[in-house]
Structure 1
Amino acid sequence: MKRNAGHDYTLRSLQSILGVSRRVLSGLIDAGFVQPMRGKRNELRFTFQDVVLLRTAFQLQSSKIPSRKILRALGKLKAELPAELPLSGIRITAVGDAIAVRTGDDQWDATSGQHFLDFEVAPVKGDVAFLDATPRTLKSRTQQADEWVALAEQLTSTDVLGAEQAYRKALTLSPDPHYLAYINLGVLLCEAETRCEDALSVFDQALQNFPNDALLHFNRAVVLEELKRYDAATAAYEKSLALDETHADAHFNLARLSEIRGDKQGLLRHLNAYRRLGG
């Protein structure tokens, strides 16, 4: 998904995207590295180009490059940057005050030597996500998958669709079934309420790879309960308890399901077990 070109980013969203403090961002802006616009409420608004320029300025400044050289380098970078993030993403490398920009198979101002600036701007559901990186060719697929999971965890509270895509990217990249990506993606989709069927599909896939994981069976039971498939949910909770008899929440949820089904004996049995386990 492509963004409409424009001043789509606020100062707060830049803090989240770049992972730097408001003070640092204000210093970069005051130094003239970007010229943001003012929004309807007089708030600062930034373009995609501004986001990349600020990240680059921060990296170069951290490497003790003089401001005049940074400004010259950013002038070259800005001239080469597209107005919006392409689906292929962007890779930026730099040596001295020369900057190489790569998008897809195209590259401008290619340089060689010791790279001190190396990051990727990845497309995640139309948002901007940075991946500080060793050159990708030197990274294993497992490392790449772990990076996407870490990115997804960062996006969960601000961009659910972006987090979903990042988890799915991790599952695609990982040479082995990625347990954390499966379980987090399933929970993310279940919390969306309207995505419970998708969550169930994720947990079903995960259980093909981790059939004896009690937490996966428990989470699958929660989804089935949300879908009002009470018999299937009961069976899934019982499977979870068969694998981990100390799971108090499974007993509590089974007590609730027993009450729904009019099973007073089951209600008391599971409530007592829940209490014994300190619930």
Structure 2
Amino acid sequence: MTKRNSSHDYSLRSLQSLLGVSKRVLTGLIDAGFVQPTRGRRNELRFTFQDVVVLRTAFQLQSAKIASRKILRALAKLKAELPEELPLSGIRITAVGDSVAVKTGLAQWDAVSGQHLLDFEVAPIKGDVAFLDSTPRNLKSREQQADEWFALGEQLTGTDVVGEEQAYRKVLELAPSPHYSAYTNLGVLLCEAETRCEEALSVFDRALEHFPDDALLHFNRAIALEELKHCDAAAAAYERCIELDPTHADAHFNLARLSDIRGDTQGLVRHLSAYRRLSG
């Protein structure tokens, strides 16, 4: 399997889908100099996650009638602070009158002048844009950073698969102790891709080294094994799930189905009866 280039993972078409704007609008923002995309193997435009954030912000501020020149100056200052990886939540950019304002917690200031603003009314913009947390990363514990990456992964669920995966992998890298939810969410995410079930199985196997008696991990591992056509191993994993949690109805149902496929009539009846009892 070819490893994806996570630094330039977005095409012009994917940007249109993410931002919900036309190609003409996007081209106008690019021509205005808000971002400098690279070129892919076929000379197509490729964008980083930072580009996505900047373009989304520029579009929203333009919609709020902020002058393009003022947006460019504001974003030029902030873009230098964007990380090469996915940003953490914290700073929000909004329109205040004809100014671009940055807000972090209770503090808020003009993005161009740096002047602090007090009690301003924020013009309505569809969706705030998350940038960097105001606290420098080197002053945060690994646990705090891992928690923020996990929160970001959950926020990206269903909207940015690449970003979601990267966030959960960052959690596993940073967390000072095994992070059960990051293992679970990453494994499920990979398994949903269908072609990445081997990777999902590896994630569940690593998780089970830390949480060997967790029924849900054995259940998810069984699903990955089924997708890979390892029916006997999947059945054993479902059995282990039920051993740990006899009330796991879905494990009984899946095991009944596998029993039917394997010609195990007794197993089919036993597990189907258990499923009906538990789900009734």
Deviation for aligned residue 1:77: 3.5
**Structure 2 unaligned blocks of 5 or more:** 36-50, 93-101, 103-107, 120-128
Which structure has greater strand proportion? 1
**Residue aligning to 1:262:** 263
What's the counterpart of residue 18 of structure 2? 13
Note closer, same or farther for the CA distance 1:145–1:56 as it changes in structure 2 (3 Å cut). farther
Q: Are 2:87 and 2:131, in contact at CA under 8 Å, matched by a contact in 1?
A: no
Amino acid at match of 2:237: A
1:152-186 superposed Cα distances (whole Å, 9 cap, x missing partner) = 22323232222111110111011111111100100
TM-score if structure 2 supplies the norm length?
Answer: 0.64
The alignment of Structure 1 onto Structure 2 pairs a total of residues equal to 226
Equivalent residue number for residue 237 of structure 1: 238
Query: Which whole-Å CA distance do the structure 2 matches of 1:6 and 1:196 have between them?
Result: 25
Q: Could you tell me which of 45, 52, 55 is aligned with 2:54? A: 52
> Partners of 1:223 and 1:171 in 2: how far apart?
20
Letter paired with 2:216: L
Give the 5 Å matches for 1:1-279. 1=5, 2-3=7-8, 13-14=18-19, 39=23, 42-43=24-25, 46-47=29-30, 49=35, 51-52=53-54, 55=57, 74-79=71-76, 87=84, 96-97=109-110, 130-137=130-137, 138-278=139-279
Whole-angstrom distance in 2 between the partners of 1:209 and 1:4: 32
Please, which runs of 5 or more residues in structure 1 have no aligned partner?
16-21, 23-37, 60-66, 100-108, 117-128
Q: 1:132 to 1:58 in 2, by over 3 A?
A: farther
Instruction: Tell me if structure 2 keeps the 8 A contact 1:57–1:74.
Output: no
Counterpart amino acid of residue 194 in structure 1: T
d(CA) in 1 for partners of 2:160, 2:262:
38
Go from structure 1 to structure 2 and tell me whether the alpha carbon gap of 1:10 and 1:56 turns closer, same or farther (over 3 Å shift): closer
**Identical counterparts, % of pairs:** 56
Residue 245 of structure 1: how far off its partner (Å): 0.5
AA matched with 1:200: L
Q: State the Cα distance separating 1:43 from its structure 2 match.
A: 5.0
Residues 74 and 180 from structure 1, CA distance in 2 versus in 1: closer, same or farther, beyond 3 angstroms? same
Answer whether contact 2:153 2:167 (CA < 8 A) is retained: yes
Greater mean deviation of Cα atoms: 136-145 or 207-216: 136-145
* Alignment CA distance shift 1:139-1:195 (3 Å): same
Match of 2:38 in 1: none
Deviation of the 1:141 alpha carbon: 1.8
Q: Distance in 2 between matches of 1:88 and 1:274?
A: 45
Hey, what's the Cα distance between the residues in 2 that align with 1:195 and 1:6?
22
Q: CA RMSD in A?
A: 4.1
Q: Which moves more between the two structures, 129-138 or 152-161?
A: 129-138
Partners in 2 of 1:184 and 1:262 — Cα distance? 33
Q: Matched residues in 2 for 1:259 and 1:153: separation?
A: 37
Q: Deviations over 1:56-107 (max 9, x none)?
A: 9989xxxxxxx99x98864534455779x773678989774466xxxxxxxx
Preserved CA contact (<8 Å) 1:53 1:74: no
